[in-house]
Structure 1
Amino acid sequence: MTSNLVPLIKKAKAGDESAMEVLYESFKPLLVSNAADSSKKFNQDCYQELSLQFILAVQAFDLEKYLGE
């Protein structure tokens, strides 16, 4: 995973699709692991919803609050 996500988040929030893709690919293993049910069966619908929520979370993330600015 990228060590400093702040520059990527700034770019992604500004509409840089490649930055969002890098962020998404960095967190994809986490999304995949959380899209499995208790029997470890992959749930595609859950994965799609997690992916959407990830993108929305990046867009809504308050960098100023996080950085204490």
Structure 2
Amino acid sequence: IKILYALFESELCVNDIAQVVGLSQSAVSHQLRLLKASKLVKFRREGKAIYYSLDDDHVRTMIALGMEHVEE
């Protein structure tokens, strides 16, 4: 959830995600593999860097609804 929330604002690389959520790069990479398999995140390659983002507007809507629920 922390990773999805971090990606809600913008696309990020593994290193940036790790810093935001306070996990190691290997832990973030493992979680991203699971999130990709679940079709919650997508990625694009730019040179050697890989940037991750939420897969589509449906995922963005789910995260927004979850955040609203937590804030109530």
Q: Confirm or deny a common fold (TM above 0.5).
A: no
TM-score (norm 1): 0.30
Using the size of structure 2 for normalisation, the TM-score is 0.30
Structure with the bigger percentage of helix: 1
Higher relative contact order (CA 8 A, sep 6+): 2
